[in-house]
Amino acid sequence: MAGGLSGGLTVGSDRLFGTSAGFPHVVELDLDRVHRNPDQPRRHFDEAELRSLASSIERHGLQNPILVRPLPQGEYLLIGGERRVRAHEMLGRRTVFAILTSGDPDEIGLIDNVQRVDLNAVEYAMALGRLIDKHGYTHDELAAVVGRDRTDVTKLLAILTLPDEIRDEYAAGFAHVSRSVMIEIAAAPAELHAGLWQRAKEGASVKAVRQAKRDHAQGGPRETVADDGEEDTAPQEAARALRASVKRILRDVAVVREQRRHLDPDNREQLLRLRAEIDAILAGVDADV
């Protein structure tokens, strides 16, 4: 089946049907012949999102084939689509549809991720940095490769100058902090990084981070009044962050409900702990009222 198809596949024109070299060449491959790319830009995979993707593939089929580059001996390097591969593995699938490509793995992998599910800020910056290290691109050349403005590329690369502890903490549990906020923090003086990062974790918006930077430049923070006379926005920012968190929880619960037949004892124990936490939060709110 797929194994028989994979031998001797090449990327190029199809004389029989008259298609050009740019026409997508879709094949069905054995998953065990597709090897993960160690330089793939996406480093973190949300389990709930993967289960949701697996459910979609199970119900509707794979709408976007993965991208691979042929290797010797009928093997393939995964260029784009690791989430789709992982979803197939969740479903116990043995084969996957793929498009063959001969382009640069780092460039195509980055572009594929950006076009489908946005990389988080640190993943994007690291992927751009790898392309510079690999090819010696200038910022202008890199911008042309990834289809972004040169100024945007420079701002994103500045994220790599943030302290390791901030980037590690971001990756571990705060990847929901927006790319724009991370860019603002990276552009601030080094002595502000820790304080601005703390505010970002508490839900500060781009506007709030910029205001904190202006306050510092003007000689110190103002606790309650901004330049335009508005009251301090910290409570509003906290409320927005809370609403976003509740929405994420509801979304994840919906995925769990849909995939409940796959629950194992560990999952059940975690759900029981989550229920206890939610009960405690609501009990505290009721007590405050």
Contact of 185 with 209, CB cutoff 8 Å: yes
Show the tokens assigned to 159.
């994220």
Contact 251, 258 (CB under 8 A): no
Intra-chain end-to-end CA distance of the chain, in Å: 65
- What 8-state DSSP symbol labels residue 158? G
Token duo for residue 143:
């911008």
Q: C-alpha distances in angstroms, 130 versus 8, 107, 145, 160?
A: 31, 10, 13, 11
Active site residue 82: yes
The widest CA-to-CA distance across the chain, in whole angstroms, is 75
127's CB contacts (< 8 A; 6+ apart) are 41, 106, 109, 110, 113, 119
Cβ atoms within 10 Å, residue 276: 10
Nearest to 96 by CA among 74, 81, 110, 108: 81
Which residue out of 47, 82, 202, 223 is catalytically annotated?
A: 82
**Numbers of helices and strands, H then E, in the chain:** 13, 5
Tell me which residues are annotated as active site: 82
